[in-house]
Amino acid sequence: MSANPSRRSFLQTLGVGFGTTVLASALPGISSLASPAKPYTGKKLGIALVGLGSYAKNQLAVALEKTDNCYLAGIVTGTPAKAEEWRNKYNIPPQNMYNYQNFDSIASNKDIDIIYIVLPNSMHHEYVLRAAKAGKHVICEKPMAISVKEAEEMVKACTDAGVQLGIGYRLHFEPYTQEIMRIGKEKVLGDIRFVQTNFGFSIGDPTQWRLKKELAGGGPLMDVGIYCVQASRYATGKEPLWVTAQFGPVTDQVRFATVEESISWQMEFPDGIMVNGFTSYKSNIEQLYVSASNGWAQLGPAYGYGPLRGRTSRGEMNLPVVHHQTVMLQGMCKELIENNKIPAHTSGEEGLRDMRILMAIYEAAKTGQRISLV
């Protein structure tokens, strides 16, 4: 899911550096990024970005200047002016610059190891399939597709081609998010009983692709609502059993002619855990609240580029501030370099699970029925 300046008003200005008074010991895998024993001299993977919108420009390109095990090797764009701008800024060789017509020839480019898809949602399916056919590993922004069928085909195409498919779930590498995961997994505050998760913003340009169902697949649920669905899953460490949902009122019939303005949903997880979710293109809200038998934890901001903040019933969280996309790319590429699987929590299969839940939420809202997820 590519970013939107109006949504991302809290863009992080800090780099990947970490504070000195942190709880890194609670976050396996993060401490190794904080203070490397010596400069990295190992293999570096070349990444080509497909789609050079604001997210690619303001986050991924920035990350690729900070990473030490991967780098910006190529670009794919249909805009000649952008191609020239990026070529000059990042010294990209002409042979590593592609457009959407000659994209498939990337198969013979040995500089490119990974293709990162940063296009409107409806284009993810086509370009993941083409990237897989080219024999390249793929990272795709979320949501991975606009239907369950598309997502299934994407997973299969990459499996059949012998390449790996990752989804840009940056928060899985972010310390505050990892602490929420740990609290649930280790029952630090007892058994999880209830989760409230909300993410919405006031959308800007009424002509943008996010407001066109044929490009976005839906409204805020497909954009920022997926963060809430993810949060309910990683906070509980469980999968939902059923969902009910309701569309909110439409206050702008022109702007929201084809996509929802807002949507609320309710899910039950195993052990009687209940989740309330809400997402909107008209409400500025961003929070995660987890209630447990012996206390509570909350993040706010919870999903944006940060810095995220959190506290529990025991006090403030004091964790590293990181550049999300940097630690995500570092983490994914580390596994690829070592010939391991991309972490399961950022895999195509994980994206497919989310797609099934998103589509069930829409079905529940449309029908008024409780939709089973098992």
> How many Å apart are CA 93 and CA 44, to the nearest integer?
17
Which two three-digit tokens encode residue 296? 């509570």
pLDDT of residue 306: 82
What pLDDT does residue 8 have? 37
Task: Please tell me the distance from the alpha carbon of residue 94 to that of residue 116, in angstroms, as a whole number.
Answer: 19
Which residue from 79, 83, 56, 33 is spatially nearest to 141, judged by alpha carbons?
56
Distance in angstroms between the alpha carbons of the first and the last residue of the chain = 27
Is it true that 24-170 and 171-332+348-372 share their CATH fold? no
Residue located via tokens 């401490």: 31
pLDDT of residue 28: 37
d(CA 181, CA 192): 11
**What integer pLDDT is reported at residue 14 of this predicted model?**
32
What CATH superfamily classification does 24-170 receive?
NAD(P)-binding Rossmann-like Domain (3.40.50.720)
Taking every pair of Cα atoms in the chain, the longest distance, rounded to a whole number of angstroms, is: 59
Give the active site residue among 55, 116, 227, 362: 227
Rounded CA-CA distance 75/91 in Å is: 11
From 55, 98, 116, 142, active-site residue: 142
Q: Contact at 8 Å (CB) between 270 and 192?
A: no
How do beta strands 273-280 and 192-200 pair?
parallel
Helix (H) or strand (E) holding 88: helix 80-90
Phi and psi angles of residue 79, each rounded to the nearest 5 degrees, phi first: -110, 110
Vertex 168 angle, CA 49 and 236, to 5°: 180
Q: How far is Cα 97 from Cα 263, in angstroms, rounded to an integer?
A: 40
Look at residue 18 and give its three-state secondary structure. coil
Q: If you search the block for the tokens 């309910």, which residue do you land on?
A: 232
Q: What is the pLDDT of residue 37?
A: 61
**Structural domain boundaries of the chain?**
24-170, 171-332+348-372
Assess whether 40 carries a catalytic annotation.
no
Superfamily holding 171-332+348-372:
Dihydrodipicolinate Reductase; domain 2 (3.30.360.10)
Q: Which residues pair with 194 in a beta bridge?
A: 274, 291
pLDDT number for residue 2: 43
Parallel/antiparallel/unpaired status of strands 45-50 and 114-117 = parallel
The confidence score (pLDDT) of residue 348 equals 98
Task: Report the distance separating Cα 4 and Cα 368, nearest Å.
Answer: 32
Closest listed residue to residue 139, CA positions, set 121, 166, 162? 166
As a whole number of angstroms, the distance between CA 189 and CA 103 comes to: 50
Whether omega for the bond prior to residue 36 falls within 30 degrees of 0, making it cis, is no
Q: pTM (2 decimals)?
A: 0.89
287 forms beta bridges with 198
Mean pLDDT, the chain cut into blocks of 10 residues (374 residues total): 39 33 36 60 96 97 97 97 97 97 98 98 98 98 98 98 98 98 98 98 95 98 98 98 98 96 98 98 97 98 95 97 98 97 96 98 98 97
Residue 227: active-site member: yes
Cα–Cα dist 48/137, whole Å: 11
